[in-house]
Amino acid sequence: MCGIVAYLGEREAYPVLIKGLKRLEYRGYDSAGVALLDNDLHVYKKAGKVSELEAFVADKNINGNIGIGHTRWATHGVPNDTNAHPHMSNSGQFALVHNGIIENYAPIKEQLQKSGYVFHSQTDTEVLVNLIEEVKKQEKVSLEDAVRIALNQVVGAYAIVVIDKENNDRLIAARKGSPLVVGIGEAEFFVASDASPIIEYTKHVVYLDDQEYAIIDRDGTFTVKTLGNVEISPFIQQLQLDLESIEKGGFEHFMLKEIYEQPKVIKDAIRGRMNATDGWIKLGGVSEFANRINNAKRIIITACGTSWHSGLIAEYLIETLARVPVEVEYASEFRYRNPIVNESDVVIAISQSGETADTLAAIEIAKERQALVYGICNVIGSSIARATHAGSYTHAGPEIGVASTKAFTTQVVILTLMALQLAQQKGTISLSYLRQVLYELDNLHVKIEATLKLDSHIKEIAAKIKDVENALYLGRGYNFPVALEGALKLKEISYIHAEGYPAAEMKHGPIALIDENLPVIILATNESAYEKIVSNVQEVKARKGIVIAVVNEGDTQIKQMADYVIEVPKTEEVLSPLITMIPLQLLSYHIAVMRGANVDQPRNLAKSVTVE
């Protein structure tokens, strides 16, 4: 949450900052601001999207080749101009942008107020910038020392960049718990929450680690130190990302582009990790800790949001295929409920961003209790990827639409491979069945392509139900988590209230909601429970609900009863979520577009939730 960008070099800073903020807008879009240093320090900030900031500064002085910028997801204080970042210290000498939360801001603020500081905003960030100013004044130290001393006094999470009005040759950036990457160009530096604002200028980057700060100077000096004031040699990495992957590429929205990328990213996720003919699977991280994983007494999966839904699918996969007990926990609950975890457990943490604060905290608990922690992340080099003992990347490429689509499908692919690899090791599946599933997985991109071709039909269905206020999603077995995820997709981008339910549970509550206005989206591809689903369809129809059924191609029975059917290619039941999810993504997308909602940046949400 919140995006940070900063520049120091020979270019005009403003265009770099504004472009960078647009790329980071997925992290929050409540307000945006920049501080530009020329002969004077100019701070411009505005509630709303980056485009509103752009309009606001149109007639202002935007000169300067050093500057910092911020796009906000509000935590402390409502999203207004005053609470927008950057925040200035009382003397006006320092400006700071911040991503994270300073938990002990209240006592520090009180202390500063006693010393005469005045606060204009409700933010914890304004407290931090004034603390830095106060430390500098009292201790008579350099800005670098003041930043370090101040950060040692605060509790919480942060990524910050500070600029000093008296020194247009230096930026100071620090991180703890929130990501920060420094781009190193020819006589120029970039700092950002992720690499997307940097990629078009340089491919050389340094990811700061927790409790580290960087002193970045115009003369090309770049120093990284720990908060204990020990200098360390930064590890310069070559970015693998390309510009194309973070642009819309002709699609109207990132979400649609990402839905359409699924055949490709599924191939990327399995590449080199399996062979259907020979019947092998090799997930690097799993092989490395084979002993502990194969002998795990229990697997605990922890995640948030969409990633939690892919964890639920994994529960079905691992228990069915490998016969190991699995528990799936919301990371936010796991971390605070004193869970029983021990060294014979394996904890799988799933996260697209690799930065979700609750998931990171859950990992720490699992590690303290000696469990092996395995990460499934999309963002390479992210905090969760680094905090876990081993893991697999999903290789979905940058996901920019706030509603997760391709990250989900690739998570499910990795979890399927994990379940199959474990089952093979434990001898709970036959080689012929393993080959059959792997062969199907290897070719699944073709069936996903075919499912995407149903887009215009799905759009027609969307047009029929776009004005409803509620929707119910039902599924059984592997399709139950898909129902949950389908409901989440609809509510988060179209603001229609939607619930996902196990189909059989409908009669214990949701059935009371059914009338002629309620669309009920029923996932009916499971062969093993087909007759039961037919009964559920009948129950809905008997109460005049609008049935939208996702069925296998060639279905006859449900087709006759449903109001609308979406016929998808048939696949192995263990792989069915990878197919049934696609029409639900498209349905939500079209409904949201038709309702005029901002699909890529739904209200109140953020892509990367670095606060608890």
Instruction: Note the residues at the interface with ligand G6P (CB under 6 A).
Output: 304-307, 351-353, 356, 359, 402, 404, 605, 607, 609
Q: At what angle do helices 50-57 and 13-24 cross, to 10 degrees?
A: 160
CB burial string 230-254: b at 16+ within 10 A, e below:
eeeebeeeebebeeebbeeeeeebb
- Measured from the CB atom, the residue of 293 and 402 that comes closer to ligand G6P is 402
Give whichever of 403 and 562 is closer to ligand G6P, judged by the CB atom: 403
Min CB(402)–ligand G6P separation in Å: 5
List the beta bridge partners of residue 174.
Answer: 160, 213
- Give the nearest distance from C-beta 584 to ligand G6P in angstroms: 15
Based on CB atoms, which residue is closest to ligand G6P, 305 or 500? 305
CA-nearest of 426, 287, 422, 307 to 359 is 307
- Give catalytic residue positions: 2, 607
Strand 41-47, strand 87-88: pairing: unpaired
Report the residue number, 353 or 392, with the smaller CB distance to ligand G6P.
353
Structure tokens at 132: 């830095």
In the complex, what is the shortest distance from the CB of residue 609 to ligand G6P, in angstroms, rounded to a whole number?
Answer: 5
The CB-nearest residue to ligand G6P is 305
Q: Toward ligand G6P, which CB reaches closer, 402 or 565?
A: 402
Q: How far is the CB of 600 from ligand G6P (least distance, A)?
A: 11
Which residue in 398, 27, 381, 20 sits closest to 235, CA to CA? 381
CB of 550 within 8 A of CB of 543? no
Nearest to 77 by CA among 140, 2, 181: 2
Task: Say which residues have a Cβ less than 8 Å from residue 67's Cβ, sequence separation at least 6.
Answer: 6, 7, 13, 14, 16, 17, 34, 35, 36, 37, 163
DSSP 8-state secondary structure symbol assigned to residue 209: P
Two structure tokens written together for 378: 């999309």
Burial (CB < 10 A; 0-12, 13-18, 19+), residue 137, is: middle
Distances (CA, A) of 141 to 132, 134, 136, 228, 586: 10, 10, 5, 16, 57
Q: In this complex, which beta carbon is closest to ligand G6P, that of residue 402 or of residue 483?
A: 402
Please choose, from the candidates 9, 7, 5, 68, the residue with its C-alpha nearest in 3D space to the C-alpha of residue 186.
9
- Residue 351 CB, shortest distance to ligand G6P, in Å, is 3
Shortest Å distance, C-beta 332 to ligand G6P = 11
